[in-house]
Structure 1
Amino acid sequence: MDIILKWITYIVLSAAETWIGYRLFNTYLTRNSVRQTYYWLGVVCYFSFQMLSYVNESPMFSTAGYYFLFSAIIAIVFFSDSLQNKITIASLFVIMNYACKTAVTAVAIAWGEQILPTGLENYRIVMDSWSQMMACLLFVLSLWGTICIRKLRLNKQNLLYAAISYLFPVTVMISVSILSQKNVGVGPVNSIKIFYLYTSVLLFSASISLFYLLEKNILLDMSGEKSAVMEELLSLQRRHYERLDVSQREVQSLRHDIKNHMRCLYALLDGGHNSEAQYYIKELYYDNKALKGVNYSGNIVIDSILSNGLANIEQNGIDLKCSIIVPPVLNVADVDLCILFGNLIDNAVEACGRITALGERKFIVLNVNIKKDYLFIDIANSFTGEVKKQNNIYKTVKIDERYCGIGLFNIQTIVEKYNGEFSASHSENVFNVSVMLSLLPVK
């Protein structure tokens, strides 16, 4: 019976620590396009490694290097963030784990719950089942605390975020210190207890530092991405104004020659040369791009993105139907509009571009309007029929999965920011994306 209970404990502990790693990594990092099957294989391998360390009753710190190696490999292989953030989260996971284990060990020694073997070398203790369970529980609480603290920043509760960021780990360290003061004395046992107490304080301090480093790195990445989007948006607007200037010049030139064109058309029609007149009108239309126009809505941000993204679709044989009815100014940040429309248009154009079958129609239908206090965006496009879904969520099949340095994941972030909804669907050869954003002030 004792052996069965021990194995159950090992399985529970291994599963719990694997879940903690899964939760921590997926909270701070973004999954890449590696197949889900390989991802779960990596999770199973980590669980197996945890089981092996428990079954072998590995002493404290003896497997720390392997823990970090496994964590770093998982972060590097299965997530798309910067290498610095991947290494930081792997380090945070391992150090926080050992901070909890050393803290519980110090308390267990003070309360006489941890049996110390004779001839202890390098202070490496094999934790008993009770201590391991308590360390795992403390690890879960620490993870929960970091996630709650992060949510405060995301919700812009900066003062409470700063206070709890210090209060939470300090409370843990003070609690450990008070609990470990029981049975204070002298001798080897007390020395070992003090060693683990100070080690836990040092590791918790390192965890705090890594947590702040990770948060700052994420904020810097977000700031850099927004700067890149703004630079791209300014470039789009410059190109849009250049097209408007060319269009205005062509209109002026057309006005100058309009009498000559009308006289020529009148002569062709009067002489019964209808086909020649039609050909003349067609040539006049295609030679004067100003007649096609580059304005879509009157909103300079949307028009800049569309005029750039849809500039060459006719040359690529793509039919465009566009209906945009929005005011010149929207209660949506320019950066968010750039990310949103940039990704939607870029995806639609590239999906049409992958159609190579002769005679197959290429088209994009874009409808944008406002109903009450919501902005509705609906875009449908032809595509090859190839889709990639992961956890019932559509994934891009583009070679380059990022637009202005920001991936499709951030479209969903924007939708959540504006309390909206996002949906995607497809039929045999039509892909449709619908987005709804609230135009009420974001709290």
Structure 2
Amino acid sequence: MLSDFYDAFLGYKNKGKKRNIFIVLCFALIIFAINSFNNTVLNLSVVPFMYFLLAVVGFSGNIYKKIFGTFIGMVVLMGTELIVVGALSITSQQLIESSMMYEPSAIRLTVIVKIITLMVFAVIKQFVTKEGTNMDGATFMLYMVLPLSSIGIMFSIAFCNIDFGNVTLAKYCLAIFCILLMAGNGTAFYAYNRYAKLCMEREINKRTVLMQEMELENYKKINQANDKYMELLHNSNHYMRTVYGLLEQDNKDEAINIMDSVLTEYEEGELIEYSTNSILNTILSEYYDKSKTNHIEFNIFVEPGFNIECVESKDLVAMVSNLISNAYEAALKSDEKKIKVQMYMQNDGSFIIIKIENSFSGEIVRQGDRLLTTKKDGNIHGVGIESVEKVAEKYDGWVSTSWGNKSFRTMLVLNNSYVV
């Protein structure tokens, strides 16, 4: 339990499970050897040092964090024993009369102490483990029903003066099932932790695949642009000769038409790198192309040095795609058909600002805190912004909206965690 607490509080130095198990077992044997001397002074002086040495050898983190972790571990281990002993000493005579001094009863007492210790460590771990691996409050309370009921059962057995007489088999069965009950308590928490880690790994894999897909899409656009440039360069000699011939014939209008079409092809084949983030480039390029196809005026400004690397790929796609998609859908149905996107840093890079302004037709109304539109295909802005707000909270951010004069404005502000 202590090593599991260290793992949550500090983290193993080495990811190899066999090596970590070997280290923990070695220290367990050393502490067992120390306890076998039955010397209180030796235990109180050497065992805490061994716990600290375990933190130093097997776990990462600075020395102060290891000292603090050892101190917390010792308080939990020793404190739970003192609490149980203090509680049971009130009825010590009853415990003696009910065979608490015999081996099965001693095992029951040990099991009770260890389950309480497990519970205390579990509570502390809720506050020190990383987000995504610890339980939410409701789930944690449900899991706590098992150890609480186990302790209640064991205390009831201890205080009910149950006398098994000479039925030795019943005593040993009780001891065995007490041990299994304690193991069940521990297994329940470890099962959840294992499940949470698997979910976290699956989420990381999804984000990796998503990022690769976005990067692949960006590379495809780059290749398409390069192919188009190569084709234009190949044909440029023919264009120049044709234009030269038309000018010799004083056919300026036809020559200008050809040059305009060539310049248009160059512009269409151009791939703009808006920022150093390939995912952001892909999203902006996609909606820029769609806007151009549907005759929407799409102006994009990304400040040089704009840095959004602190935002995870999945969250970046969710926020930016939602906001620009909403703006695109609204502008497509509007009369003016305009979208303006601005991305920049503020307060020496402490905040990431994304402003989006788009034209819209129809009246926007509220339903509680949610935005709606009076058009039949409503919810243009409401659903998307609600989703973005939930993701923005993860980065200590917020979303604000305003509208007027057939223009809808959205501003997303995120805290840049990369700034120290």
| Higher RCO (Cα < 8 Å, 6 or more apart) | 1
